[in-house]
Amino acid sequence: MKLWGGRFQKDTDRLVEDFHSSISFDRRLYRYDIRGSIAHARMLARQGIISNDEAALIVRGLEDVLADIEAGRVEFSVAAEDIHMNIEQLLTERIGPVGKKLHTARSRNDQVALDIRMYIKDEIDQIRRLLGELINTLLDMAEEHLETVMPGYTHLQRAQPVTLAHHLLAYVQMFGRDADRLRDCRRRADVLPLGAGALAGTTFPLDPGFVAEQLGFAVVAQNSLDAVSDRDFAVEFASVASLIMVHLSRFCEEIILWSSAEFAFIELDDAYSTGSSMMPQKKNPDVAELIRGKCGRVHGDLITLLTMLKGLPLAYNKDMQEDKEALFDAVDTVKKCLLVFRPMVASLRVNREKMAAAAKGGFTNATDLADYLVGKGMPFREAHATAGRLVYYCLQQGRSLEELSLEEFRRFAPVVEEDIFRAMDIHRCVTARHVLGGPAPEAVKEAIARARIMAAQVCR
């Protein structure tokens, strides 16, 4: 008989039983469910709702159930619907009628809200650590490539010279913001819902503060209706996860481009590449492509959660069972992608010569020419137009700006002097940009030092 079956005169249809059950996916919550139940039992005894002996028997029974689950000796039942009722049923089978007292002053509504919050707090901590490890890897790479000049792009057109270190630090900033967002999300998940019951609390003299202390929650929910129906924290996590995947996907897109023969900026390690079943010469960036593809999967998880919640009246509705698969998938996908992305990036080989050659092409120093003319007293708009005319002249000649003679420069801008050639040097164009957040090696060193502090906080 179902634990809730007293009011019913017929068994659940077998199709409905399978359709209704969530044990196939919420079984991963078993540790949290047992931890929450142990804290609840101890609180019930502390408040005199059950005896100390009964609580001790329940706790021992739950610990035995946990040990058996961990050892793979438990087969969960679809008929018991979910992880909560499976564990309660296993407990009652082992310790007898006392097991039926565990659910006193508790509903599956506040129980599942508790389990999910405990779960997501732990997963956030793990993902933050993975982000911290990735950030440190990127910082290590940046230190190796302070002088590795490459073109910066807008519209995928060569724009201005930067360094690979500077480029990597852009992603450090992105992943740092992701870690901050996860920290904020964790704070809002760190609210104890247990004690809210089904929706209206209970007449028993509970002590939620004791349970919060036992389970490591910062605060107790202030409204019982909201406590059981709130999934904002799950949506917020999926939103942060979606941004993490966007940042990984953007980076992967560049890795895919850079590893092509057209760019040849990098070569991926064989361990993070695959071949073709037909074309023997191929070395495909499949890992990067798959991460890029999985970005849409996590976005879908976010949409699932938003759509599931948008039309629900208070308080709990069965629709909310759909939160778990989307949340679990977002967690799993982000973790798997971070785990494989970091060593893929750490092991790639950089072709400094190719990057430097590309930085010298495409007139990436044209902005520096305009700035030079401004420094000689020319208004910026006039300097911009003059630099554009010089670029057009070079295009007609099939030459670069550095290859022009002083006389040719003066034909367009009489203010030009001998120092124009130093101003046009690609490395000088980079080192001259010693501003906060700029690509000059000294500025990048300072940025790396600041980022190391941030990474240490993320990894804690």
Q: CA-to-CA distance for 57 and 37, rounded, in angstroms?
A: 12
| 155 is a catalytic site residue | yes
- DSSP H/E element including 192: strand 191-192
Q: Which of 442, 409, 441, 444 is nearest to 423 (CA)?
A: 409
How many distinct helices (H) and strands (E) make up the chain?
A: 19, 6
Angle, alpha carbons 305-125-460 (nearest 5°) = 150
Question: What is the residue type of 72?
Answer: G
Q: Which of 149, 154, 164 is nearest to 425 (CA)?
A: 149
| 259 is a catalytic site residue | no
From the candidates 24, 260, 276, 347, give the one annotated as an active-site residue. Answer: 276
Beta partners for residue 149, in sequence order: 163
Q: Which of 284, 392, 390 is nearest to 344 (CA)?
A: 284
Q: CA-to-CA distance for 186 and 123, rounded, in angstroms?
A: 10
Q: Which of 329, 308, 302 is nearest to 243 (CA)?
A: 302
Backbone angles phi, psi at 192, to 5 degrees: -80, 120
From the candidates 155, 229, 247, 434, give the one annotated as an active-site residue. Answer: 155
Angle, alpha carbons 29-314-115 (nearest 5°) = 10
Contact 121, 60 (CB under 8 A): no
The residues carrying an active-site annotation are: 155, 276
